[in-house]
Chains A and B, each alone.
Chain A
Amino acid sequence: MDETFGNYRILGKAIPRVDAKAKVTGQAKYAADIEVANLLWGFVKRSPYAHARILNIDTSKAEKLPGVKAVTTGKDFGGFKWGWSGPTRDEEPLAVEKVRYQYEGVAAVAAVDEDTAQEACDLIEVDYEPLPGVFTPFEAMEEGAPLVHEDRPGNMCVEYHWDFGDVEKAFAESYLVREDTFQTPRQAKGYLEPPAVVAYWPDPDHLVYIGAKGSPYFPYRILAKCFNLPLSNVRIITPIIGSDFGGTKNDMTPADYSAVMLAKKTGRPVKFVTSQFDALTTDLRRHPMWITIKTGVTKDGMLKATYVKAVADGGAYTRMSPLTMFLTGTCMTLPYKLPNFKYDALNYFTNNPSSAAMRGHGLYHSRFAADVQLDMIAEELGIDSVEIRFKNSIENPKPGEVYETVNEVHVASCGMQECIEKVAEAVNWKARKGKKKAEGDKAYGMGFAAATYNGGTKLSAHNACAAIVRVCEDGSVNYLTGATDVGQGSDTIMSAIVAEVLGIALEDIDIKRVDSSFTPVDPGSYGSRVTVLAGQAAINAAEDAKKQLIEVAAQQFGVKPGDVEIKDRKVFVKSSPERNMAWERLVRVACYETPGKVIIGRGYSKQGISLLGLADFSKGVGDIGTNYSFTAQASEVEVDVETGVIKCTDNNVIAHDCGFPLNTQAVETQVQGGSYHQGISAAVYEEFKMDSGQTLNPNLIDYKRPRAYEAPMAQVIHVLTSDPYGPFGAKEASEGSTCSAPPSIVSAIHDATGVWIKDIPAQPEKVFWALKKKREKEQK
């Protein structure tokens, strides 16, 4: 798989990651590895109830325990509330009047060691008045149901009603109309590294926070506000992060606030290391959704209209549910042409841990429903799965052209058809048609699916994304960016882009991990935005630095700047390349030529297509992304028809149009990972089981995360479309495979057994009963 694309020195190839060596030798420091002198250990006290009023908190016994240095409760925060955006600030650092989900934090302790802190928490006495709760959106929406937030009637958190075209008329004109309801599971983010934080105040006006945050500028702003500090005094430092997937490491936890508060009270650094149990009981989860989808098609399977009703369990607090529900609807008009589209989104508060973003955010639910239903439609009409997708796909716009959907989403590049063709060819789809394979108690089947994902997400007030290229006098380059590598490889890509633009080597670039005292602002790692937007900032900053250096070279050579180029670590006159200078010499000349000259390139990302506006959530109109990836996938499964156990075979192919694979290797690993860990896992393995707000399987044995033995050795095919709005033509990579995997698995199960599993995960017992029901029905 060592392919090369494009004509670049560094990009378009397999680029080993800049942080790989540190990780593979154990030198890389994650938040829990950070040690600071004079450290205290923190522990959070949590509510045993999913819904209760807090009548009283008595911390006196805890305070007296030897080794305890400070205690904090919600009252210490003076009524501060926070949230993802202005209207959604409904959450407190530690609960004050009410707890709304089990294990919500109510107090915290800092002590000389973790055991003492934990013991002290046990000594904190909290008087609760348990309240009745609501645990599904259906309970939440009932008349007279207990309210999670008193000021939110009907427990309604987010409600959208979009209407494009005329779906009713289109249904009336359709040859076939189907309505089906699908369900997606309550899913853990699944990162292996539980969140950890170290906080300290070098002096009463300055805060240092070291934590595993994929969007460090969120805590930067939030902590500044909470503790009444100017932003310049808030220093957020990110160590190496053990992945995030859009979840809690984006966002604030009780441990984060408590660490800062307790550090303030004690005057000492405070460290909180949460556990996987905390992660699996309280960290943000993917929304479970109930998607009812009604679709009308013509006789030859062309889509005419789709109506989607998405009911979601938002959990206890709003967090970013407004974005989730927007994303669930916005790309229903991709990757197929859809002239009429209606969307009702209903996201409810419940007394469960909050739901929020997760890899494949939003689209994963609706694309799953839509693509499985498309196969159901294909089956009813007798049309092939690949054919129906191919004919409905948006065609790749010609250069300069843009495809606009009915909800004003703009697509400048679309490799959907090419992806479909390449996957179908790779698995020899035509040859397998009609070949039913069954061996003893095993049945085999293959499913096909297509998906899209938006990249370069732009959200108002969070758009600012900047970068600085600082050329040191010896020719080495510091790259300062707010973009945060959570494991997806963005540090490598940013470094590679800078090196490519400057005409030097990857080894010349040293990228600094985010330190808000020094790195410029960036929204962080969510919405598949880093490559697209921070990549653009990287190009702009590098070009700015390059321009300054070229001016110096031009002066040295006595030519116009336009006559000078830098390539392969050499600056030369284009028309007579024998007139050249080594990179290091150019930099020395630039830095020492006139006293005080400093070569610093600044750049920031600008919006892509000018006719794009920011999306309007309530109307469902506009682009949330800069560009869109497209993915086709074929998955083969083995079904044990007696037990219901599903296994993937190695016959698993994914074609991914990410515009241009800047780092081919990283794209492959990401696509394989997105497909298996977040996609196939949701289709077959993972689900939180709940009982009235209590998580019944909060450990990695009972909550199944996918493992190596069962991993399909998925093949990744690169499809290039060179998007005009992405850096070097790039778009997002791999949230698409998170969305293509689940429908491909469900279709494969159907192909093997004739059974549609519409509520994933297809765990063995569920499949067993479905198969049994089918057999009994056939016998009648």
Chain B
Amino acid sequence: MIAAFEYFAPKTVEEALSLLSKYKEEAKMIAGGQSMLVVMKQRLLTPEYLIDIKGLTALDYIKYDEKQGLRIGALTIHRALEKSPVVQKHFGVLSEMEGNLATIQTRNWGTIGGNLCHSDPAGDPAAVFIALKAKFKLASSGKERIVEADEFSTDYLEADLKPNEMLTEIQVPNPPPHSGTAYEKLMVMKGDMGVIGAAVSITLSGKDSVCQDARIALSNCSSIPLRAKKAEEVLIGKTLNDGLLTEADEVAATEATPPSDVHGSAEYRREMTKVFVKRVAKLALEKAKAA
């Protein structure tokens, strides 16, 4: 079934990075493998070298700090994010998103880092991290760089990740006061990959509902998790009302270039973009007002 490969199970991040430096494009890193093993079984992916980092416990952590915000180790499993009291309290949207990500079995083994590096535009975490203005730390032997969440995915299943680099940490800044972030996706069954999904973050300047900042990120609407920047601009600096949210959702639909597949045509997905941007923006606004 799976094509043979040479296997390494590095015990430290440094070891993992030096393996990457050595084998570069011929090597693939596997964490939880929940996406990877499916394609390896179909022989669509046949790396010569497989670097198994599932055992790198050093990257399995959730740290919270009132100033720095959330730091998530790349090897944190989805279920841990879902259940973490700290995440539930301060970044509830992440926990909610995880609760609908595939099923419990997948969440018990798959990692947040693996999910992000797979770079599937239909993935839920990327859209939410974009809305939260997260940053990703990428490491290579002796070096580190930070990439903005909305710049990480570059194309369908491709990311700004050099062959000798690995994702080590996701950094989520503390949400500003009077802000709220929500995420919903179109599912037929709980845990489905979203037909489309929308993550919206709204920051109000105070109790008076002027939108100071907005982020709208769409999943499965393009070859990457798409930031609907024009739609964001519809909202920023304005007092939000129903009509404005409608305008934003229509603009977002024009920015989307969704696929057509067995789950929905591009046209349907554009219609659903409107529905979800509006629904999620409303949820985000409610959260922002309550914050």
Question: Is A in direct contact with B (CB under 8 Å) within the complex?
Answer: yes
Q: Scoring B residues 259 to 276 as 1 if CB is less than 8 Å from chain A, else 0, what string do you get? A: 000111100100110010
Q: Is the CB of A645 within 8 A of B188?
A: yes
User: Contact at A764–B275, with CB atoms within 8 Å?
Assistant: no
A704 partner, pick from B1, B186, B188, B264, beta carbons under 8 A: B188
Q: Are B268 and A768 closer than 8 Å at their CB atoms?
A: yes
* A765 and B262 contact, CB distance less than 8 A: no
Stretch at the interface among B77-85, B133-141, B189-197: B189-197
Query: Of B1, B189, B265, which is within 8 A of A707 by CB?
Result: B189
Most buried by B among A696, A710, A763, A764: A764
CB proximity of A709 to chain B, nearest CB, Å: 4
Inter-chain contact B1/A115, CB cutoff 8 Å: yes
Give the size category of A's interface with B: 20 to 34
| Contact across chains for A768 and B271 when beta carbons are under 8 A apart | yes
Q: Does A643 sit within 8 A of B, measured CB to CB?
A: yes
CB distance from B199 to the nearest CB of A (A): 17
**Residue A463 lies at the interface, judged by CB distance under 8 Å to chain B:** no
Which A-chain residue is minimally distant from B263 (CB atoms)? A702
Interface residues in B171-211 (C-beta closer than 8 Å to A)? 186-191, 193, 195
Complex Cα distance, B102 from A709, in Å, reads 12
Q: Decide: A689 near B262, CB < 8 A? Known: A115-B1, A764-B195, A768-B271.
A: yes
How many B residues have CB within 8 A of the partner chain?
Answer: 18
Distance in Å from the Cβ of B261 to the closest Cβ of chain A?
Answer: 8
Pair A702/B271 contact, Cβ less than 8 Å: no
In the complex formed, the residue of A with least CB distance to B264 is A765
- B234-291 residues with Cβ-Cβ distance < 8 A to A are 262-265, 268, 271-272, 275, 279
B221 to chain A, nearest CB (A): 15
Structural contact, B268 and A765, CB atoms closer than 8 A:
yes
Asked if A642 is at the interface (CB within 8 A of a chain B CB), the reply is yes
Among B186, B189, B190, B265, point to the contact of A643 (Cβ < 8 A): B186
Instruction: Given A643-B272, A643-B275, check contact A764 B190 (CB 8 Å).
Output: no
**Please, how many angstroms separate the alpha-carbon atoms of A324 and B76 in the complex?**
53
B189 contact from A441, A689, A710, A769, Cβ within 8 A? A710
Most chain A CB neighbours (cut-off 10 Å) among B186, B189, B265, B272: B189
Tell me which residues from 694 to 738 in chain A have a Cβ below 8 Å from any Cβ of chain B. Answer: 696-697, 701-702, 704, 706-707, 709-710
**A336 in the interface (beta carbon within 8 A):** no
- Please state if A709 and B186 are interface contacts (CB–CB under 8 Å): no
Is B265 a contact partner of A685 (Cβ separation < 8 A)? Answer: no
Given A643-B272, A768-B268, CB of A701 within 8 Å of CB of B193: yes
Residues on the A chain within 8 Å of B186, using CB: 643, 645, 764
Q: How far is the CB of B217 from chain A (nearest CB, A)?
A: 19
Nearest-CB residue, chain A, relative to B43: A118
CB pair B188–A697 under 8 Å, yes or no, is no
Query: Bound complex: CA of A689 vs CA of B265, how far in Å?
Result: 13
What B residues does A765 contact at CB under 8 A? Answer: 264-265, 268
Taking a contact as CB atoms under 8 Å apart, the answer to whether B262 and A702 are in contact is yes
Q: Mark A769-780, 1 if CB is under 8 A from B, else 0.
A: 100000000000
How far, in whole Å, are A685 and B262 apart by their CA atoms in the complex?
12
Residues of A within 8 A of B262 (CB): 689, 696-697, 702
Q: Give residues 359-417 of A contacting B (CB, 8 Å).
A: none
CB contacts between A and B, total, < 8 Å: 42
Cβ of B285 to closest chain A Cβ, rounded Å: 16
Minimum CB–CB distance for A275 against chain B, Å: 9
Q: Note all chain B residues with C-beta closer than 8 A to A710.
A: 189-190
CB-CB under 8 A from A685, the residues of chain B are 188-189
Contact B268 A709 (CB under 8 A): no
- Shortest C-beta distance, A773 to chain B (Å), equals 13
626-658 of chain A: CB within 8 A of chain B: 642-643, 645
Q: Which residues of A contact B268 (CB under 8 A)?
A: 764-765, 768-769
Residue of B nearest to A685 (CB): B188
Please tell me if the beta carbons of B272 and A709 are within 8 angstroms of each other in the complex: no
Return the CB mask of A135-154 against B: 1 if under 8 Å, else 0. Answer: 00000000000000000000
Across-interface contacts of B1 in A (CB, < 8 A): 114-115
Return the CB mask of A492-535 against B: 1 if under 8 Å, else 0: 00000000000000000000000000000000000000000000
User: With a CB–CB cut-off of 8 A, which chain B residues contact A114?
Assistant: 1
Assembled-state Cα–Cα distance A441/B264 (Å):
20
Contacting residue for A709 out of B190, B193, B264, CB 8 A: B190
How many angstroms from the CA of A617 to the CA of B133 in the assembled complex?
69
Q: Which residues of A654-708 have CB atoms within 8 Å of chain B's CB atoms? A: 685, 689, 696-697, 701-702, 704, 706-707
Nearest-CB residue, chain B, relative to A644: B268
Enumerate chain B residues within 8 angstroms of A763, measured Cβ to Cβ.
188
Q: How far is the CB of A456 from chain B (nearest CB, A)?
A: 36
Nearest Cβ on chain B to A60's Cβ, whole angstroms: 24
Assess whether A704 is in contact with B275, with CB atoms less than 8 Å apart.
Answer: no
Cα distance A697–B263 in the bound complex, in angstroms: 10
Which residues of the other chain, B, contact A441 by a CB distance below 8 angstroms? 279
Q: When chains A and B are docked, how far (Å) is the Cα of A12 from the Cα of B193?
A: 45
- In the bound complex, how far is the Cα of B188 from the Cα of A32, in angstroms? 32
Whether B188 lies near A642 (C-beta < 8 A) is: no
Instruction: Please state if B189 and A709 are interface contacts (CB–CB under 8 Å).
Output: yes
Which residues does chain B contribute within 8 Å of A704, judged by CB atoms? 188-189
B175 to chain A: closest CB distance in Å?
A: 27
A730-769 near B? 1/0 per residue, CB < 8 Å: 0000000000000000000000000000000001110011
Give complex CA distance A465, B232 in Å: 72
Query: For B191, what are the chain A residues with a Cβ–Cβ distance below 8 Å?
Result: 707, 709
User: Which chain A residues lie closer than 8 Å to B265 at the CB level?
Assistant: 765
Tell me whether A764 and B189 are in contact in the complex, defined as CB-CB below 8 angstroms, given that A642-B275, A643-B272 are known contacts: no
Residue of A nearest to B1 (CB): A115
Q: Which residue of A lies closest to B103 (CB)?
A: A707
Contacts of B187 in A (CB 8 A): 645
- Residues of chain A lying within 8 A (CB to CB) of residue B190: 707, 709-710
Query: How far, in whole Å, are A648 and B1 apart by their CA atoms in the complex?
Result: 39
- Collect the chain A residues with CB atoms within 8 Å of residue B188's CB: 645, 685, 704, 763-764
Give the chain B neighbours of A707 by CB distance below 8 A. 189-191
Distance to closest chain B CB from A395 (angstroms): 41
Min CB distance A419 to B, Å, is 30
Which A residues lie within 8 Å of B275 (CB)?
Answer: 642-643
Separation in Å of the B40 CB from the closest CB of chain A?
Answer: 13
CA distance A766 to B264 in the complex (A): 9
Contacts of A702 in B (CB 8 A): 262-263
Q: How far is the CB of B82 from chain A (nearest CB, A)?
A: 16
The distance from the CB of B99 to the nearest CB of chain A, in whole angstroms, is: 12
A642, closest chain B residue (CB): B275
Chain B residue at minimum C-beta to C-beta distance from A703: B262
In the bound assembly, the distance between CA atoms of A685 and B263 in angstroms comes to 11
Among residues of A, the one whose C-beta sits closest to the C-beta of B3 is A115
CB distance from A700 to the nearest CB of B (A): 11
Q: B193, B263, B279: which has the most chain A beta carbons within 10 Å? A: B263
Q: In the complex the two chains form, is A764's CB within 8 Å of B264's CB?
A: yes
- Residues of A near B195 (CB, < 8 A) are 764
Q: Identify the interface centre among A642, A697, A706, A769: most chain B CB within 10 Å of its CB.
A: A642
B-chain residues with CB within 8 Å of residue A701 when the two chains form the complex: 193
Distance from A154 Cβ to chain B, minimum over Cβ atoms (Å): 31
Q: Determine the distance from Cα of A708 to Cα of B262 in the docked complex, in whole angstroms.
A: 22
Q: Which residues of B contact A642 (CB under 8 A)?
A: 275, 279
Minimum CB–CB distance from A278 to chain B (whole Å) comes to: 13
Bound: A441/B283 CA distance, A? 14
Q: Give the CA-CA distance A765 to B265 in the complex, in Å.
A: 8
Q: How far is the CB of B256 from chain A (nearest CB, A)?
A: 16
**Assembly CA distance A645 to B268 (angstroms):** 13
**Known pairs A707-B189, A707-B191 / 7 extra A-B pairs, C-beta < 8 Å:** A642-B279, A643-B186, A643-B272, A710-B189, A764-B264, A765-B265, A768-B268
The 5 A-B residue pairs whose C-beta atoms are closest, nearest first, are A709-B190, A765-B268, A697-B262, A689-B262, A642-B275
Chain A residues engaging chain B, CB cutoff 8 angstroms: 114-115, 441, 642-643, 645, 685, 689, 696-697, 701-702, 704, 706-707, 709-710, 763-765, 768-769
A-B contact pairs, 10 of them (CB 8 A): A114-B1, A115-B1, A642-B275, A643-B272, A645-B186, A645-B187, A697-B262, A704-B189, A763-B188, A765-B265
